[in-house]
Amino acid sequence: MATIRFEISEEMRAGLEARASESDYADVADYLRDLIQADLEDSWEMTPELAAALAEGEASGIDSRSIEDIIADGRKRAGL
């Protein structure tokens, strides 16, 4: 097994330790190995439906509303 070393902030280290213990990993190294493996295995496929949705979004142009207005409209439609 190979070893990779890198530096992280104390805050990130504490967060990793907390996440590892909350998730019942033996230690941070086990958590990181699992996280990296999941990322390396993560793949997706450009389906026709996804391609059509992306094309529709690109063709719709740029919205002149502010982000706040867009969010407000979305909340109204969702009944929030």
What's the mean per-residue pLDDT of the chain? 92
SS3 labels along 3-60: CCCCCCCHHHHHHHHHHHHHCCCCCHHHHHHHHHHHHHHCCCCCCHHHHHHHHHHHHC
Share of the chain above pLDDT 90, in %: 82
Q: Is the pLDDT of residue 56 over 90?
A: yes
- Mind listing the pLDDT tens digit for each residue in 28-54? 999 999 999 998 988 788 899 999 999
Share of the chain above pLDDT 70, in %: 100
Q: Which pLDDT belongs to residue 44?
A: 81
Q: Does the model's pTM come out above 0.95? A: no
